[in-house]
Chain A
Amino acid sequence: MAHEHKLEIFRGLWKFKSNTQKIWGVLAFLCVITAIEVVLGIWKPEGLLKSENAILGLKLLNWIFIILTLVKAYYIAWDFMHLRDEKASLRRAIVWTPIFLVAYLVLILLLEADYIYEIFKNGFVAWNF
């Protein structure tokens, strides 16, 4: 069993003396991110919701939420599930397989959904009766 722990996060910007301290540090970081999400979710700044500021059909606020989620997922997997301490080969096998498959699935499904939406909107199908 791997007992050695890598005791720094943010690429060495934040170093810890023990594994326990690192856990509390990561908890603090995750709580801050969740707090930012909740505040943005309640406040909903108008500029971030404008459709003219949208990127790839998704509002800026939603991009922020998704990116923050991925950041949280990274630290849960890397520090709580201690992928940081595993061999690179194991880590890559675990991480890249689902990322590739999910990215592909999401791309296909969302494109198809948008296509159906366009058909509903511009086609000759009455749906709002």
Chain B
Amino acid sequence: MDSTVATGSEDKVWGGGNKPLNASYGKLMMWFFLVSDALTFSGLLAAYGFSRFKFIETWPIADQVFTHIPFIHGNYPMIYVAFMTLILIISSVTMVLAVDAGHRMKKNAVIWYMFLTIIGGAIFVGSQAWEWATFIKGDYGAIETKGGRILQFVNSDTGQRAAIADFAVTIPSERINHERKNGVWFYEGEALPSFSLTEVVEGFKANPNIAIRTESIVQEGENEGEKTILTRSEALAKLKNAAQVVEGANLIHNEYGSRLFADFFFFITGFHGFHVTSGVVINLIIFFNVVLGTYEKRGHYEMVEKVGLYWHFVDLVWVFVFTFFYLV
């Protein structure tokens, strides 16, 4: 039977005994995982697109939401998130350089490049945490109507948003934060906003240069694409339906507009941030393995290549999140 023993199977690619895709088992499995993870993110982003197209006339404008830079006051849309994108792309580059150094068996170069990658990832996660904190805290405050619509206040001369703290009047009243300790033990009221509804409404009536901006986007004419600003009488009529003061954003209320926007923001950037965090942790493990010389002994640095794939995938996802949350 020795005539039938197949030694080389050049003519039968899938006949066994060779690598039809020229990739190792681990690398293939990493790719399988990445493809399925890509589908998860696509599902989330497609759901975001669904909600956005459903509420296309009232969806928040990202430029009016993410306008902050750490340590600097003022209105700077896009700048900080561009910085975050840059950080992630650069940490992706140091990762490729680590993989490349691994191919050439340069242990010290791999160590340095992996170290830089981890630092880049940490800066990115920190930036995302800051972005979340700013978004949750909010800055101007708004009013939510009974129908769940958001009414924001703008300065009618400049068109810039006006903070409720700047115009609300102070009316002495007894507003008590209902906590567990002074009521039924399992029941706790929502935290009180800094101003009561009446204070904001009275403040609005007393300040003629404050206007109300609604969620709906002007569909045609000169101001196309901008949020509608109500006339004084329309604004006063709308305020009759005011239900509560909203400051910042959470899963239920969102001073920047549609609450779905906040929900998707938390869910998608949170899921991505979780990926970055786990990527940093995995990178750390591999980093220590490199330092200990594990891959030097093994004779190849394929593990670095595999975590590299994961890390680039995280970067790839961010490119899409960046586009759909901040640009489009």
Interface residues of A (CB under 8 A from B): 1-3, 19-20, 23-24, 26-27, 30-31, 34, 37-38, 40-42, 49-51, 62, 65-66, 68-69, 72-73, 76-77, 79-82, 86-87, 89-90, 93-94, 97-98, 101-102, 105-106, 109-110, 112-114, 116-117, 120-121, 127-129
Q: Smallest distance from the beta carbon of A43 to chain B beta carbons, Å?
A: 10
Count of chain B residues near A, Cβ 8 A: 67
For B216, the chain A residues whose CB sits under 8 A away are: 128
Closest partner residue, chain A, to B215 (CB atom): A128
16 pairs of residues in contact across A and B, judged by CB atoms under 8 Å: A31-B89, A41-B63, A41-B77, A42-B77, A51-B220, A66-B323, A68-B323, A73-B319, A76-B315, A82-B99, A86-B21, A87-B21, A93-B21, A106-B46, A116-B54, A121-B57
How far is B78's CA from A38's CA once the two chains are assembled, in angstroms? Answer: 7
**Contact: A127 with B97, CB < 8 Å?**
no
Contact present for B241 and A129 (CB under 8 Å): yes
Main secondary structure of the interface of A (DSSP, over half): helix
Q: Nearest residue in A to B225 (C-beta to C-beta)?
A: A49
Complex contact B21–A89 (CB within 8 A): yes
Are the CB atoms of B92 and A129 closer together than 8 Å? Answer: no
Distance (whole angstroms) from the CB of A123 to the closest CB of chain B: 13
- For A113, give its contact among B53, B315, B328 (CB under 8 Å): B53
How does the 8 Å CB contact mask read for B210-223 relative to A, with 1 for contact and 0 for none? 00000010011000
B3 at the interface (CB under 8 A from A): no
Quick one: which of B46, B86, B92 contacts A105, CB cutoff 8 A?
B46
Contact flags (1/0) for B131-165 with A, using CB distance below 8 Å? 00000000000000111010000000000000000
- Is B31 an interface residue, CB under 8 A from the partner? yes
Query: With A and B bound together, what is the CA distance between A82 and B328 in angstroms?
Result: 29
From B47, B49, B315, give the contact of A80 (CB < 8 A).
B315
Contact indicator B312/A23 (Cβ below 8 Å): no
Let me know if B274 is at the binding interface, CB within 8 A: no
B50 on interface, CB distance cutoff 8 Å: yes
Q: Which residues of chain B are within 8 angstroms of A117 by Cβ–Cβ distance?
A: 53-57
Contact assessment for B90 and A27 in the assembled complex, using a CB-CB cutoff below 8 Å: yes
Given contacts A19-B100, A110-B53, contact A90 B92 (CB under 8 A): no
Interface pair A90/B50, CB less than 8 Å apart: no
Interface pair B51/A113, CB less than 8 Å apart: yes
Contacts of B23 in A (CB 8 A): 86-87, 90
Knowing that A81-B312, A110-B53 are A-B contacts, what are 14 other residue pairs whose CB atoms are under 8 Å apart, sorted by A's residue number? A1-B302, A38-B82, A41-B63, A68-B323, A73-B316, A76-B316, A79-B96, A87-B23, A90-B22, A98-B35, A101-B39, A109-B50, A117-B55, A129-B145
Residue contact A1 to B21, C-beta cutoff 8 Å:
no
- Top 3 A-B residue pairs of the complex, sorted by shortest distance between their CB atoms: A113-B53, A129-B147, A90-B21
- Closest Cβ–Cβ distance, residue A97 to chain B (whole Å): 6
- Distance in angstroms between the alpha carbons of A38 and B66 in the assembled complex: 13
Task: Tell me if B233 is interfacial: C-beta within 8 Å of chain A.
Answer: no
Q: Is the CB of A69 within 8 A of B54?
A: no
Question: Which of chain A's residues have a CB closer than 8 A to the CB of B85?
Answer: 34
CB pair A51 B50 closer than 8 Å: no
A21 to chain B, nearest CB (A): 11
B99 to chain A, nearest CB (A): 8
Interface flags for B73-94 (1: CB within 8 Å of A; 0: not) read 0000111001001100110110
Q: B327 at interface (Cβ–Cβ under 8 A)? A: yes
In the complex, A13→B96 CA distance in Å? 22
B309 within 8 A of A: yes
